[in-house]
Structure 1
Amino acid sequence: MSLSHEIRRRDDVVEIVLSGRIDRDAAAALEEAGIAASEGPPASMLLDFSGVDYINSTGIALIVALLARARAQRIAVRATGLTEHYRHIFDITRLSDFIEIVQPTPS
């Protein structure tokens, strides 16, 4: 399953809800999400990984590129919905040093 996304705006937060696999085939979807999220720069971006079932090393690199673009625009980035496995990956790759990991908010 390729990556799909939905963009939700709430006040000054852009939430990007991701579903599927984050691998080399996800480049276009993440690029599109990043561009859409940066229109009229929000104060912060929330990446929701609840629907993501796979991230490989290329996917991590794509997330780093999205983070770099956001940081260049002074947009704070948070992540939610990561499994324990991917939280650990974010820790060992040091992504968690640059992306605040938060608990999912109740619907």
Structure 2
Amino acid sequence: MTRPITLPQHVAALLSWLNTANPPTEHEIAMRIMKIGEEFGEVVAAYIGVTGQNPRKGVSATRAELTGELCDVIIAAMAALATVAGDVKQAERLLNEHLSARHPRLSALVRAGAA
């Protein structure tokens, strides 16, 4: 049985390929950041397709397509973060620090809502 690929493993491979094809110049960094927006647009299109909101197309996407597009947003965001941070390990560290800084407030809100 093969082990699942983790987000950091996938992003490291992605950046290896991207950095060879398009070295991380200021322009390339901007493109990687903008890729998040492109992927978000694909999430929106998939959601419209899942809900059948476009009467011309009707239901034209599946929940699996929608979740796949959401995963692509996460991958694009992590790739951009790793590019800006310098590498995947730094991106993981920054993300963990960010989550740790925000979690106490979230926990307080959860406790307050549960009261």
Do both proteins adopt the same fold according to a TM-score greater than 0.5, normalized to the shorter chain? no
Structure with bigger strand share is 1
TM-score, normalised by the number of residues in structure 2 = 0.31
TM-score, length-scaled by structure 1: 0.32
Query: More helix by proportion, 1 or 2?
Result: 2
Larger radius of gyration: 2
